[in-house]
Amino acid sequence: MLSRVADSLYWMSRYLERAEHTARVMGVHLNLMLEHDLGSEGRRWPRVLASLGSREKLQGDEFPTAQAYALDQIVSSIGAARENARQVREQISSEMWEEINRLFHESKRIGTPQSFRAQPFDLVSAVTQSSHLFHGITDSTMLHGEGWQFIQAGRFIERVQHTARLIDSHFQEFYRAGAEPSSAAEHMEWIGLLRSCTAFEAYCKVYTADLRPERVAEFLLLNAEFPHSVRFGVERLGQSLEAVNQATTRKSDRLGKLAGRLAASLSYTPLEEIMSNLHEFSAGIRRLCGQIHAGIYQVYISYPIEAALGA
């Protein structure tokens, strides 16, 4: 596979996952803002922006600033995903192109600042539903070969990083070791974290409605069966990297070792050890994902021409 094709498939998937994550988190917190007055709304939007990876310092009326950031992130990510898909239309199915092109034009229609301020849930719903539909179409209509594996790698490396950052931001504000949620409003914030990861119903199937912060962390970080858990994403990322490694002439033990180290940290680190330093554990996950991303580029995308000629 040409490196430019791998690059476009990888980033198409990353950008679409980024747009869907941003829309989902924004939708959850808009609902929380409407339903509950914690008396601490001034902290909500800085925390939400931090969980989305923004370094922007909020000043003055914070909600409009956060709303504008989320809107720009969603619309620009969809545009970038569509542009990457356009560059590899011969590699993806026509159904995939039609869905991502439809979402692009829909986001342009309902993703204006005026529309988003008036009806933000229209864009949130359109993005989340279209993202799920796109991935279903991808799995159903595309050959599960090298290109499909790059799509999976992009999807899960993006998901792992965002989920780890979201957990870190939430626990820094609300977690107190050994303490249960102290109020109904704080209880709803923990439910909001689960809903931000589409995990509330799945969590209840495992733990019933017994909402404990340590169990929330265990489920979102370590559950091997839930698609939005960090461990599930890391394992799928490792499988995709191994499949690409087997399919190409450019072999790399380094990527496999990095993915294996990341998987081992989630499989063998006791929950008590994780909870004792969750911030550093989350930072370590994101740091290793960054190294894997750099490795993907070094091995498959931006390698020197001399290395390609010698392969």
pLDDT, greater one: 56 or 139:
139
Mean pLDDT across 84-92: 97
Per-residue pLDDT, 178: 67
Per-residue pLDDT, 307: 46
Mean pLDDT over each residue of the chain, to the nearest integer: 91
Mean pLDDT across 264-271: 95
Per-residue pLDDT, 311: 44
Per-residue pLDDT, 12: 98
Among 33-37, 253-257, 294-298, where is mean pLDDT lowest? 33-37
- Ranges of each domain in the chain: 1-142, 144-311
pLDDT > 80? residue 43: no
Q: Which residues have a Cβ under 8 Å from the Cβ of 147 and sit 6 or more positions away?
A: 1, 5, 6, 9, 88, 91, 92
Per-residue pLDDT, 208: 86
pLDDT > 50? residue 306: no
Q: What percent of the chain has pLDDT over 90?
A: 75
pLDDT > 50? residue 170: yes
- The pTM is what? 0.92
Q: What percent of the chain has pLDDT over 70?
A: 92
pLDDT, greater one: 3 or 101:
101
Look up residue 269 and give its two tokens: 């680190």
Per-residue pLDDT, 42: 59
